[in-house]
Amino acid sequence: MSNNANIAQEALIPHVAKIINVRSQTHDVKTFAVVSSDDGGVMFDHMPGQCAMVSIPGVGEAMFSITSSPTNTKFKEFSVKRCGILTEVMHSLVEGDEITVRGPYGKQFPVETEFKGENLLFIAGGIGIAPLRSVINYVRSNRDNYGVVDVLYGARSSSDLVEYEEMSKEWASDKDFNVHITIDRAEDGWEGNVGFVPTYLKELAFDNNRTAVICGPPIMIKFVLGGLIEMGFAKTQVYTTLELKMKCGIGKCGRCNIGSKYVCKDGPVFRCDEIDELPNEY
Amino acid sequence: MKKIALAKIDSLLEAISKDMNLFAPVDNKSTVNYAEWKSGDVAVFDKMTVRSAKDAFFPQCENMSKFSRDQDNKIIIDKLETCDKDFVVMGVRGCDIKAIAVLDKVFLSEPVDTFYAARRDHSILISLSCSKPEETCFCTTFGIDPAQPKGDVEMYIVSDYAYFNTVTAKGEKLISSLNNLLENAKDSDIDSAKVATRDIMCKLPLHDVTTDGWGAGVLEEMFNRPEWEQLSSSCIGCGTCTYVCPTCQCYDIRDYNGSNGVTRYRCWDSCMKSDFTMMAHGNNRTTQLQRFRQRFMHKLVYSPANNDGEFSCVGCGRCVAKCPVSMNIVKVIKTMGGEKL
């Protein structure tokens, strides 16, 4: 019998979590739903944007954003792209297998403060939808607190779109909620938009009376931010996340240090004017 | 104030180590380093240790937890015990005492590092007034007084005697348990030694190094200085400076997959290493210039920004003495610090 419940409070010591569902999203992205092995609960409360350290003991441990919304009180979800040693093994796991999870780490998106009452524009590329999905579903669950919501999401091809079912069916049918999806190159059978995210952003010509949240590959973030500035957005209206190597998650191991910030505890969520104060090393 | 003749100091070390682990600077043929003192070891109080007292609280490698699987492949976690026995660290100079305060800010801030915290709680520090600084010392640059560093007990070496002044209750308890070995002494017996130490410091080659130009608030300016290129060009990224540094606290967490399950351990790591920031999507510091700059910016700009102006260099000079290519923080401080144009 393990005494996991007693030691869960200790920094760096994880919870044991059981995988209760695996959804294959694309050829290299799977979404794992997990619960506590001890009591079937969600292990800890989190807010949108926060992350957790996921591990397979003996293989490795890495930081992932929690893609499920805090309003999902049944399980936590992680969308994992196969791109390294740990994620390769994670992709072989099935329902019933166990992993370990510790967290939550980092700062949340200001859903209860700055975002409240605002029109929201979410812009994501590829696996970058994972952290934003948590915010988006939080907003959908607290719909009255926010204005019009637009989601602009792009991926290399239609088969690289993560959470396509959920966004095209559930999100798009919500009131005052618009979903714009694009893929990089034309494909047979694809009737949606074709083109890169920053290009599509300009074509959609959103007004700047809204708060924008960007997540995706660094190059996409750079051009999307440039586009938003051209459209009259101030950097104080735009939020994004930084991704740096992490080991401890609690601001001590030094890896994610950039300037006077530690991305694991001071981030990963930053307002774009805050990023300007950091050295250009991300 | 108590004292013991240096000729008899082994009897004191013997008495302490009977009940507790005692870490002291020990002669190891060509070098002096902190080690668990055992009967027969020669404790050395007039040479700089190669590594600092950091090891006593944040060891180079330590196991944190064990993972095993039951017959149903379920994960079982065993957290390993934190330190639960008192121990003594003896002969800690002013630089290393200050370094412990720097490490405390990191490891004892929320969420508290329980492994480090347990060691700090169980430690009794005997600081050492520095009677023989090295040529590479520059602790006074950081406002440290090497003549009277604060420990639970302060230790002074004056001619043929070691003097002990208790500061805390912990220190009082230790010293009173050793009363039968110690003689009474006058507080004024150590005054001349303090003066002598302060006098020597003024004569050291690096005594005039100042932190002018460094500190919180010069991030952008310092980060973009062209001098980084020339300064970093000789760096071979060996990480020696980070290992001998009493305040470097970067660590790695790894799993050892053995026959009895998995042991998760942490070990010192170094921001000077090329894979330190390597992750699946790339590496945000790919050049030695970036890594070199990160280390010194962290000590001289980022740390002060987060800790009310406190630098995370204590001027112990170990990196100055040990860098294989003679590059060091003093050159960095001097090259880019000083009066602004």
How many angstroms away from the CA of A38 is the closest CA of chain B?
A: 11
Same domain flag for B40 and B84:
yes
In this predicted structure, what is the pLDDT of residue B338? Answer: 66
Residues B53 and B151 in one domain: yes
Q: Are residues B56 and B181 in the same domain?
A: yes
CA distance A61 to A182: 33
Whether residue B178 is found in the same domain as residue B255: no
Query: Is residue B12 within 8 Å of B18, Cβ to Cβ?
Result: no
Cα–Cα distance for residue pair B217/B305, rounded to 1 Å: 7
Which tens digits make up the pLDDT trace of A145-161?
Answer: 999 999 999 999 999 99
Residues of chain B with pLDDT under 50: 339-341
Which residues fall within 8 angstroms of residue A90, CB to CB, at 6 or more apart? A30, A32, A54, A56, A80, A82, A99
Same domain, B185 and B224: no
Give a yes or no: residue B341 inside a domain: no
Residue A103 DSSP SS3: strand
B105: closest CA among B303, B253, B324?
Answer: B303
From B253, B254, B248, select the one nearest B271 (Cα to Cα): B248
Q: Which residues of A touch B279 (CB under 8 A)?
A: 243-245
Which residues in chain A have their CB less than 8 angstroms from residue B74's CB?
A: 16, 37, 98
* Closest residue, chain A, to B305 (C-alpha): A260
Structure tokens at B150: 């604060």
Query: Across the interface, do B290 and A10 touch by the CB < 8 Å criterion?
Result: no
Q: Does residue B138 share a domain with residue B8?
A: yes
Could B251 and A253 be called an inter-chain contact, meaning their C-beta atoms sit closer than 8 Å?
Answer: yes
**Fold for the domain defined by A4-104:** Elongation Factor Tu (Ef-tu); domain 3 (2.40.30)
Tell me which residue in A2, A16, A247 faces B253 most closely, judged by beta carbons. A247
A164 Cβ contact partners less than 8 Å away, ≥ 6 residues apart: A25, A158, A181
Q: List CB contacts (< 8 A) between B289 and chain A.
A: none
In chain B, which among 81-110 make CB contacts under 8 A with chain A?
106-107, 109
B316 plus B285 within the same structural domain:
yes
One domain, residues B195 and B232: no
Helix (H, G, I), strand (E, B), or coil: what is residue A171?
helix
H-state helical runs in B108-226: 114-122, 169-177, 191-203, 219-223
Report the pLDDT value the prediction gives residue B11, as an integer from 0 to 100.
Answer: 96
Q: In whole angstroms, what is the distance from residue B110 CA to residue B118 CA?
A: 15
- The closest CB to that of B257, out of A10, A58, A251, belongs to A58
Give the residue extent of every domain in chain A. 4-104, 120-241
Name the nearest CA neighbour of B56 among B90, B79, B93. Answer: B90
> Comparing C-alpha atoms, which of A192, A196, A137, A204 is closest to residue A167?
A137
Rounded distance, CA B21 to CA A126, Å? 55
* Residue B61 is assigned to a structural domain of this protein: yes
Q: What is the pLDDT of residue A218?
A: 87
Query: Considering B177, B203, B229, which residue would you say is the last residue of a domain?
Result: B203
Q: B112 contacts in A (CB within 8 Å)?
A: 11
A41, A35 contact by CB (below 8 A): yes
Using an 8 Å CB-CB cutoff, list residues of chain A that contact chain B: 2, 4, 7, 10-14, 16, 37, 57-62, 81, 83-84, 87, 97-100, 217, 243-245, 247-248, 250-255, 257-260, 277, 279, 281-282
Residue from A13, A56, A241 whose CB has the most chain B CBs within 10 Å, to mutate: A13
DSSP string, A15-51: EEEEEEEEEE-SSSEEEEEEEETTTSS-SS---TT-E
Q: Where are the beta strands (DSSP E) in A126-216?
A: 149-155, 177-183, 193-194, 211-215
Q: What is the pLDDT of residues A209-224, one digit of tens each?
A: 999 999 999 899 999 9
- Tell me, yes or no, whether B48 and B160 share the same domain: yes
B65/B67 Cα distance (integer angstroms)? 7
Q: Are residues B45 and B189 in the same domain?
A: yes
How many domains does the structure of chain B reveal?
A: 2
Nearest to A254 among B73, B250, B255 (CB): B250
Q: Is A100 left (phi over 0), alpha (psi -120 to 50) or beta?
A: beta
Residue B105 belongs to a domain? yes
pLDDT at A280: 87
B253 and A84 within 8 Å at the Cβ level: the answer is: no
Contact A87 B107 (CB under 8 A): no
Both B151 and B297 in one domain: the answer is: no
Q: Which of A72, A139, A76 lies closest to A104, judged by CA? A: A76
B88 with B118, same domain? yes
User: Could A281 and B285 be called an inter-chain contact, meaning their C-beta atoms sit closer than 8 Å?
Assistant: yes
Chain B CA closest to residue A276: B220
How far is CA B69 from each of CA A32, A190, B77, rounded to the nearest angstrom? 21, 47, 9
Separation between Cα atoms, residue B53 and residue B70, nearest integer Å? 40
A83 vs B contacts (CB less than 8 Å): 280-281
pLDDT in tens, chain A (282 residues): 333 333 334 778 899 999 999 999 999 999 999 999 999 999 999 999 999 999 999 999 999 999 999 999 999 999 999 999 999 999 999 999 999 999 999 999 999 999 999 999 999 999 999 999 999 999 999 999 999 999 999 999 999 999 999 999 999 999 999 999 999 999 999 999 999 999 999 999 999 999 999 999 989 999 999 999 999 999 999 999 999 999 999 999 999 999 999 999 999 999 999 998 899 888
The confidence score (pLDDT) of residue B337 equals 84
**Of B146, B174, B203, the domain-final residue:** B203
Does residue B214 lie within any of the structural domains? no
Residue at B335: amino acid letter: T
pLDDT given at position A257: 95
Residue B238 structural domain: 219-336
Task: Tell me if A259 and B277 make a contact (CB, 8 A cut-off).
Answer: no
Residue B212 lies in a domain: no
B167 touches chain A (CB under 8 A): no
Classify domain A120-241 at the CATH class level: alpha beta
In terms of CA atoms, which chain A residue is nearest residue B255? Answer: A58
